């Protein structure tokens, strides 16, 4: 008991010192992380710009898709490096192109690819977001998500979370936990269960969505997925930091997918 009392008194009297040591260790960790991250970020940005140059030199569809994949690989590397690339962390990224219902490309096959549309027909929606490429193709999908028209009464309560939400509202969306996806009030319960079931079968446990904008127009979105919760971190500061690092790549992607 005397040793316990001694230990309690010792550490109690040195609380400030212990806290100061902890803060110093944390500061040193982030300094080392930042020093390692900056060269890695510059390298990935250079690779993404080179991808754009490659497409300019050979503006073919197969080259466009290949260069889009290179940009997604850069995004994945940036997010991984922002955390110091810890063991076991898996990041993937994909992009979705937005198509207006009156300008669907030939062979789009909307009826077979459309997901999570509930009882509504394809003709009831204004825009569609089509998955077109991944950084890592393992587990890739090829579906299309509907986006509610703002002209339709009550569209807010039918807006799908994630990519359609980000595209419709014009801002980034972060889902920290796919087991607790926030749905709009009044959202269809059957469709909500279908979406929750979908997420329960996936390896990624959180994801973020950023808009792809070029020439003042929203052209699609980029999704960043993680096998852990809180893909962009737990603090608001960390989330904003990672989003700001990815936005330049979204601009470059816009150049590739512009009409």
Q: How far apart are CA 229 and CA 231, in angstroms?
A: 6
Mean pLDDT value of segment 250-254:
94
For position 33, what pLDDT does the model report?
46
Average pLDDT of 78-88?
A: 86
Look at residue 8 in the predicted model and tell me its pLDDT: 41
Q: What is the pLDDT of residues 107-127, one digit of tens each?
A: 999 989 999 998 888 888 999
Over 70: is that where the pLDDT of 66 sits?
yes
pLDDT mean across residues, the chain: 86
Question: pLDDT tier at 17 (50, 70, 90 boundaries)?
Answer: low
Residue 78 to residues 44, 67, 256, Cα–Cα distance (Å): 7, 17, 20
Q: What is the pLDDT of residue 36?
A: 64
Print the SS3 string covering the chain. CHHHHHHHHHHHHCHHHHHHHHHHHHHHHHHHHHHHHHHHHHHHHHHHHHHHHHHHHCCCHHHHHHHHHHHHHHHHHHHHHHCCCCCCCCEEEEEEEEEEHHHCCCCCCHHHHECCCCCCCHHHCCEEEEEEEECCCCCCCCCEEEECCCCCCCHHHHCCCCHHHHHHHCCCEEECCHHHCCCCCCCCHHHHHHHHHHHHCCCCCEEEEEEEEECCEEEEEEEEEECCCCCCCCCHHHHHHHHHHHHHHHHHHHHHHCC
Query: By C-alpha distance, which of 86, 69, 109 is closest to 257?
Result: 69
Q: Which residues contact 141 (CB under 8 A, 6 or more apart)?
A: 131
- Beta strands 91-100 and 127-134 are antiparallel
- Which band of pLDDT confidence, cut at 50, 70 and 90, is reported for residue 35? low
Per-residue pLDDT at 85: 77
d(CA 18, CA 12): 10
pLDDT band of 239, cuts 50, 70, 90? very high
Confidence (pLDDT) at 54: 78
Token pair for residue 187? 């959202």
- Domains, the chain, ordered by start: 2-257 (3.30.450.40)
Distance between CA atoms of residues 208 and 239, nearest Å? 10
């Amino acid at each position: 008991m005397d040793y316990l009392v001694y230990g309690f008194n010792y550490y109690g009297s040195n609380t400030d010192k212990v806290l100061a040591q902890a803060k110093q260790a944390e500061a040193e960790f982030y300094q080392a992380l930042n020093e390692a991250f900056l060269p890695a970020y510059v390298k990935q940005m250079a690779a993404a710009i080179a991808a754009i140059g490659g497409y300019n030199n050979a503006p073919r569809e197969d080259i466009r898709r290949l260069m889009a994949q290179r940009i997604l690989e850069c995004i994945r590397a940036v997010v991984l490096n922002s955390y110091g690339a810890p063991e076991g962390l898996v990041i993937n990224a994909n992009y979705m192109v937005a198509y207006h219902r009156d300008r669907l490309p030939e062979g789009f096959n909307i009826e077979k690819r459309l997901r999570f549309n509930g009882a509504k027909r394809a003709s009831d929606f204004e825009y569609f977001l089509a998955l077109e490429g991944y950084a890592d193709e393992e587990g890739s999908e090829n579906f299309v998500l509907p986006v509610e028209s703002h002209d339709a009464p009550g569209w807010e309560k039918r807006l799908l979370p994630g990519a359609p939400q980000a595209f419709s509202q014009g801002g980034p969306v972060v889902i920290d936990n796919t087991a607790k996806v926030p749905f709009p009030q009044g959202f269809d319960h059957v469709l909500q269960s279908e979406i929750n079931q979908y997420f329960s079968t996936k390896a990624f446990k959180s994801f973020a969505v950023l808009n792809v904008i070029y020439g003042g127009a929203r052209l699609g979105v980029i999704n960043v997925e993680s096998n852990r919760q809180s893909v962009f971190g737990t603090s608001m500061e960390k989330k904003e930091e990672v989003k700001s690092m990815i936005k330049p790549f979204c601009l470059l992607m816009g150049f590739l997918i512009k009409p």
